Amino acid sequence: MSTPTTEIGYATDGYTDGGKFWQHAEDTPELRWPLNVRVYRRMARQDAQITSVLRAVSLPVRRTAWRIDPAGARPEVVEHIARDLGLPIKGKAEVTGRRKGRFSWSKHLAEALLCLRYGHAYFEQVYSLGADGLYHLRKLGPRLAETISDIEVARDGGLVSIEQYGFGVSTAAARIPVGRLVAYVHEQEGGDWTGTSLLRPAYKHWLIKDRLLRVQAQTIERNGMGVPVYEAGPNDDQAQMDAGKRIAQSYMAGSASGAATPYQARLRLAGVEGNLMPADPAIRYHDEQIGRAVLAHFLNLGTQTGSWALGSTFADFFVMSLQTVGELIRDTAQAHVIEDLVDANWGPNEPAPRLVFDEIGTRQAATAEALKILIDAGVITPDPALEQAARQDYGLPASAEPERVTAAVAARMARISRDEFADKTAQLDFARRMAEATPRARVRIETDGALTLW
């Protein structure tokens, strides 16, 4: 059997006879791409629970610290990448430069996290040639989900290009090849480059909840004041009945509202007979299911009652999911932003630095205590690099005099070494004196091998 070097099967079925991309795997018609883009936009803008869920997922990823790890790359390469992305270098003091007209990582991160809402977020790379003869990242232009008209996918599932609707009436559609794209795709399956929206499992609950809210509003509006009913008197004819009907239909509550009726006629507000089905429990249930769709169970604990320990367990699972979202952003930006920029300037064989971020949900108090224990035990030796890393982790300002810090650390380590040596020497001397002062017992071994002490 020969070693396989080509593929026989295929990894996508998202094409129609006309050559346009279409999601065959989606059973709900309005959630097939590109129709689902407007649905997810409505969900995110109109529902408070959906908005809360999306912010709960995206804000911690945006809030955590992002850095450039040299990872063995040359210093000039690391400096170039860090300067273009506007990120600090791991283990070094952050140098704040001017950001006007330059690429902003925080802005790009917020736009990239839209892949959670729509399932995908595409960006076009734009470089500029600097005075140093190197290419610099000028921008990553967002190609919004509502502007994409087609996605071309190869037989093996690889992305070929995307197409945007024409800009204006007279402009033709624009096709952007994969070599200029950065594609963030959430939960991609095979060659489906539209991804899976975080809101997809919550769609059913959002739809039913939206209808329940409308019914609840109509119920309150209809039955909150009562229904005006005109009861005719014994001498009312049809004309008087019609006039009474008009009075009832035009009745409105207010400080100046009122009505006049003939003798023995009556205008009353009829209330509901029997009990109305309350909508609150059903609305609360669907809210809980929307939070559960993204493991954000703790968002529902304030509605009734809940255990603090159970809420902490829910939060731990949620934090793990946030870590996965951060890794999705990191891996895509590493492959198609940092490494593409390194390739453009130094070629594909040049080692590239790594994009890293602080672990989301890190308990810094426990980390500081563990660090102190390791230092006291002699497992870790304090040095300027460790101090700078600790300053970065805890958001402390960089040292204004790094040379003085280095000398202080060296002096402290020398003092600790002398103190430890003195302590060890004193302990050994005490043990030797105790051994000399203790009388030794005489021992006799009997002929049968028994040991006798006296």
- In b/e form, how buried is each residue of 269-286, taking b as 16+ CB within 10 angstroms? eeeeeeeeeebeeebeeb
What was the pLDDT predicted at 25?
77
3-state secondary structure of 148: strand
* 20-59 tens-digit pLDDT: 676 777 889 999 999 999 999 999 999 999 999 999 899 9
Q: For the whole model, what pTM was predicted?
A: 0.73
Contacts of 334 (CB under 8 A, 6+ apart): 352, 354, 355
* Cα separation, 132 vs 80, whole angstroms: 11
* Cα separation, 299 vs 281, whole angstroms: 16
Mean of the pLDDT values across residues 60-77? Answer: 93
List the Cα angle 77/79/85 in 5-degree steps: 100
What was the pLDDT predicted at 42?
95
| 37 burial type by CB count under 10 A (0-12 exposed, 13-18 middle, 19+ buried) | buried
Contacts of 87 (CB under 8 A, 6+ apart): 66, 67, 68, 105, 355
Q: Which among 397, 355, 376 is positioned nearest to 137, based on CA atoms?
A: 355
Q: How confident is the model at residue 112 (pLDDT cuts 50, 70, 90)?
A: very high
The interaxial angle of helices 280-292 and 203-223, nearest 10 deg, is 160
* 209-265 tens-digit pLDDT: 999 998 888 877 777 667 788 888 888 888 888 888 887 878 776 666 777 778 788
* 299-348 tens-digit pLDDT: 665 555 455 455 566 677 788 888 999 999 999 999 999 999 999 999 99
Supply 189's token pair. 């399956």
The one-letter code for the residue type at 69 is: D
* 409-434 tens-digit pLDDT: 555 555 555 556 566 667 767 767 77
Contacts of 342 (CB under 8 A, 6+ apart): 77, 81, 350, 352
How, if at all, do strands 135-143 and 120-129 pair? Answer: antiparallel
The interaxial angle of helices 48-63 and 308-333, nearest 10 deg, is 60
* Cα separation, 207 vs 205, whole angstroms: 5
* 225-239 tens-digit pLDDT: 677 888 888 888 888
CA end-to-end span of the chain, whole Å?
Answer: 83
Place of tokens 């020398």: 414
What was the pLDDT predicted at 319?
82
CA distances from 179 to 99, 194, 344 (A): 27, 18, 12
